[in-house]
Amino acid sequence: MRCRTCSEKAVINMRQHKLALCRLHYLEWLPKQVERSISKYRMFTHRDRLLIAVSGGKDSLSLWDILIRLGYSVDGLYIDLGIDAGINYSSTSLDYALNFALKYNLLLHVVDIEAEYGEAIPELAMRTHRGHYKPCSVCGLTKRHVMNLRAHRAAYDVLITGHNLDDEAAILFGNTLSWTGSYLVRQGPVLEADRPGLMRKVKPLCRTYERELAAYAFLQGISYIQKECPFAADSTSIYYKQLLNKLESDRPGAKLSFYLSFLQARRAGLFSDAIDEHAKLVHDCPECGQPTSAPGLCIFCRMFSKTEDNLRINEMNLI
Ligand code: Q46
Ligand code: ZN
Ligand code: ZN
């Protein structure tokens, strides 16, 4: 297989794009694709103060690398979830994020959940679970809350996350199976800051396949944590990703078309009724001040207050 641009030996063949490229041209091609998404969805400009949430994994570190190569000035935020599970998962991830920041002389904010809020994710999940131990629910909620709060307090304009197309398609698949209008209406490349206290959130990798990011990290020599979070195996999104991978291997491009068709339907107003319903429920949490649709305290504050008796972590929460 030969590179379409220079006819040298190709290192990657992307059936979904009918495109094969050599190392040099692939490392040029991917940043251009990301730049196209940034401008197509009007995510941010070179004048904005940008914060990227990094996990130490290939997606967020590759994205940070790409943004720096594109000339953006971007600070990082790492949330230490306190997940050890015999493999020092969180501390190893932090090392990768720190090493990346050090190598390129970038600013990395670190939030240690246990030190700041008194409990790490595994303990929090154990204390709050109702019959079924699901660390990913409390973990996701905690990350969204802390990212929003820190980015807002430090006066960044935009919060960037490394969600890739595989993540977005799996989330969309889950929301579609249950036809959850309030989630569907808020899923997209850009989540506007439509209330005080809410950050503008963007996903520049929303059209980039996970495989393309793995190739980029490898070819660009980015060191990242290769181990999965020990709780990932139980997550529903992994199951949905496997189903979608089967579909993609039979029909290259199926994931991208699933996601892009959804965005088109959303733009056409298919889910607009859900917006008003959701907006009616939102108020500011009396404890942390962040917008929430949960009655009274937001779910994050209830989780960490240790006094709640009616904790429902799957309840809709805006942040
Ligand atoms: S870190 Fe947290 Fe993920 Fe681990 S506990 Fe689940 S949500 S799998 S992206
Ligand atoms: Zn080439
Ligand atoms: Zn709160």
199 touches 148 (CB < 8 A):
yes
**Pocket flag, ligand 1, residue 140 (CB < 6 Å):** yes
Q: How far is CA 229 from the centre of its chain?
A: 15
Parallel, antiparallel, or unpaired for β 158-160 and 50-54? Answer: parallel
Place of tokens 């209830």: 302
Q: Return the ligand 1 atom nearest residue 230 CA.
A: 4
pLDDT band, very low/low/confident/very high, at 294 (cuts 50, 70, 90): confident
78 touches 108 (CB < 8 A):
yes
Backbone angles phi, psi at 243, to 5 degrees: -60, -45
Pocket probe for ligand 1: among 136, 224, 234, the residue whose CB has the most ligand atoms within 8 Å is 136
> Which ligand is located closest to the Cα atom of residue 237?
1
Write out the H or E segment, with its range, that includes residue 190.
strand 190-191
pLDDT digits (tens, 9 = 90+) for 32-59: 999 999 999 999 999 999 999 999 999 9
Q: How far is the CA of 103 from the centre of ligand 3 (A)?
A: 36
198 touches 291 (CB < 8 A):
yes
**Pocket flag, ligand 1, residue 235 (CB < 6 Å):** yes
Q: Is the pLDDT of residue 308 over 80?
A: no
pLDDT digits (tens, 9 = 90+) for 137-171: 899 999 999 999 999 999 999 999 999 999 999 99
Q: Return the ligand 1 atom nearest residue 140 CA.
A: 7
> What are the distances in angstroms from CA 311 to CA 301, 302, 303?
10, 7, 7
CA separation for the pair 33, 212 (Å, rounded): 11
**Pocket flag, ligand 1, residue 229 (CB < 6 Å):** yes
